[in-house]
Structure 1
Amino acid sequence: MTTSADRSPIFFMSYAHRPNSGGDRRVQEFYELVRGHVDELLGLPVGQEAGFIEAEPTGERWSADLAHAIGHCQVLVPLVSPRYAQSEWCAREWNAFLSRPRSTLPGAPSSPGHIPVIPVWWTPASSARLPAAVHAVQFFTADGLPRPGQAQMYHHEGLYGLPQLGRPGLEVYEAVAWLLARRITDCYGTQDIAIGDVDLTGLSTRFEEDL
């Protein structure tokens, strides 16, 4: 696990880039919301990073910062969409994280709900369109939303769609960000993921199923 003296991020948010699109801007906005919550929940000291996202991809996709983050973060948060399921780069990030040895911390609960991979619906996608490895993981369900029907809104619209529904959708969007941050901190407190450099060059471009 990372320490207070470490600049390694707690979580890595993975998504399918679409350069020069409003979607990338909205991903960044959601990331900042979750990152701020995680920072507050864990009371991180100055210098330690709550999260990582590659905001400005270049032709040299595997930047040094990205390589460090995927080899040192403790939780992977994929923003799942049809485009994510087709992305070779997202598959590499998935495989890089899952290649790292992990164990449950002493005294911590071990269950499918506490594995350190938390897929979130960015836009809706049918199970048939998802790689088997992604479909097999327990998705973030947003349990705990305060009003009946709000979890269904999240599942039906995805995070990208919620703000399009006006104030009711924005309320769900903001609540999901908070609950996701809580889930990230729970994972961080139960799992220990070995840190170190990851060999990015030989990673498969298909989603592997080793969970």
Structure 2
Amino acid sequence: MTERTTGGASEPRGDGPSFFVSYARPPGSPSRDDPSPIGELVQDLNFEIGQHVRQGTRQVRPGVSDREIPIGDNWRRFISHMLAEAHVLIALVSTPYLDSDWCGKEWAVFSRRAVHARPPLSPETSAILPVVWVPVPQDRRHAVVQRLQYTNERMPGSYARDGLLALSRQAGKRDSYHQVVNQLARRVSDLLMYTTVEPGRMVDVETAPSAFHQSKPNWDGVTFLQSKAAG
């Protein structure tokens, strides 16, 4: 693999956020500065994770999305840091998400990081959690997404049928929304307690291949960035 480096290559140091939310913004959607279900989901997950993580677990930093990027910061570098440091990638799957070249790049960059799981988790445990944000027809789901389980018997049937976004917006389905968030938080908590996710090298996401648009991602020519921690 041919690697290009900007300002030297370095691995991030220290524990990263518990999760980073990867999602697509459909055309005409509000900016990230407007109130949105994404911000609500991040807050709800952080609260629930705090209830489930066992005492004695290393300090857990709150999960984030790109809504937390400070004004004036380099948003691409922020996302590069999150993909290299966050413990879990929560992917809000929808048709725009799977069509998005950028979201496919985020998935590909995060998936390069090694995950070491301890019992009771399986050695094949993934640190990517796909969420049914808006249901996608089966024939439109990419293989890398299909191979990961997205629901369990404790989640309501309306989750797979309607998607978490619809549950969050309908007053009569808020209980179902919270059921799903609770199960997602439990899984993130298990990953925090029983896995080690190796830090990644910071990648200029724009130069990375897309996991959704290439059957075998080509990493030749990818640009690695210098971590703030090294600088």
Structure 2-normalised TM-score?
Answer: 0.72
Cα distance change of structure 1 residues 23 and 144 upon mapping to structure 2, 3 Å threshold: farther
Residues in 2 aligned to 1:12 and 1:55: alpha-carbon distance in whole angstroms: 11
Residues in 1 aligned to 2:164 and 2:116: alpha-carbon distance in whole angstroms: 30
Q: Which residue of 2 aligns with 1:191?
A: 195
Alpha-carbon displacement from aligned partner over 1:68-107 (angstroms, at most 9, x marks no partner): 11101121110100111011111111011111122223x4
Q: Which residue of 1 aligns with 2:154?
A: 144
Offset at residue 202 of structure 1 (A): 3.1
Residues in 1 aligned to 2:163 and 2:23: alpha-carbon distance in whole angstroms: 14
Q: Which residue of 2 aligns with 1:148?
A: none
Task: In structure 2, give the amino acid aligned to 1:178.
Answer: N
Residues in 2 aligned to 1:19 and 1:36: alpha-carbon distance in whole angstroms: 30
Residues in 1 aligned to 2:203 and 2:188: alpha-carbon distance in whole angstroms: 25
Contact 2:83 2:200 in 1 (8 A): no
Aligned-pair Cα RMSD in Å: 3.2
Larger radius of gyration, structure 1 or 2?
Answer: 2
Offset at residue 41 of structure 1 (A): 2.6
Task: In structure 1, give the amino acid aligned to 2:197.
Answer: I
Q: Which residue of 1 aligns with 2:42?
A: 31
Cα distance change of structure 1 residues 126 and 10 upon mapping to structure 2, 3 Å threshold: same
Offset at residue 127 of structure 1 (A): 1.6
The reply to whether residue 174 of structure 1 matches residue 182 of structure 2 is no
Contact 2:15 2:85 in 1 (8 A): no
Give 3-state SS (helix, strand or coil) of 1:143's partner.
Answer: coil
Offset at residue 39 of structure 1 (A): 3.0
Question: Which ranges in structure 1 are unaligned for 5 or more consecutive residues?
Answer: 146-150
Match of 1:119 among 124, 130, 137: 130
The reply to whether residue 135 of structure 1 matches residue 146 of structure 2 is yes
Give 3-state SS (helix, strand or coil) of 2:66's partner.
Answer: coil
The reply to whether residue 55 of structure 1 matches residue 61 of structure 2 is no
Give 3-state SS (helix, strand or coil) of 1:120's partner.
Answer: strand
More contact order relative to length (CA 8 Å, sep ≥ 6):
2
Cα distance change of structure 1 residues 184 and 79 upon mapping to structure 2, 3 Å threshold: same
Question: Which ranges in structure 2 are unaligned for 5 or more consecutive residues?
Answer: 1-12, 217-231
Query: Equivalences for 1:100-115 in 2 at 5 Å?
Result: 100-105=113-118, 107-110=119-122, 114-115=125-126
Cα distance change of structure 1 residues 36 and 23 upon mapping to structure 2, 3 Å threshold: farther
Alpha-carbon displacement from aligned partner over 1:21-49 (angstroms, at most 9, x marks no partner): 3596112211211122113433699x852
Residues in 1 aligned to 2:191 and 2:80: alpha-carbon distance in whole angstroms: 21
Contact 1:38 1:185 in 2 (8 A): yes
Residues in 1 aligned to 2:193 and 2:126: alpha-carbon distance in whole angstroms: 11
Using the aligned pairs only, state the percent identity: 25
Residues in 1 aligned to 2:47 and 2:28: alpha-carbon distance in whole angstroms: 25
Q: Which residue of 1 aligns with 2:24?
A: 16
Structure 1-normalised TM-score?
Answer: 0.79
Q: How many residues align?
A: 197
Residues in 1 aligned to 2:41 and 2:133: alpha-carbon distance in whole angstroms: 10
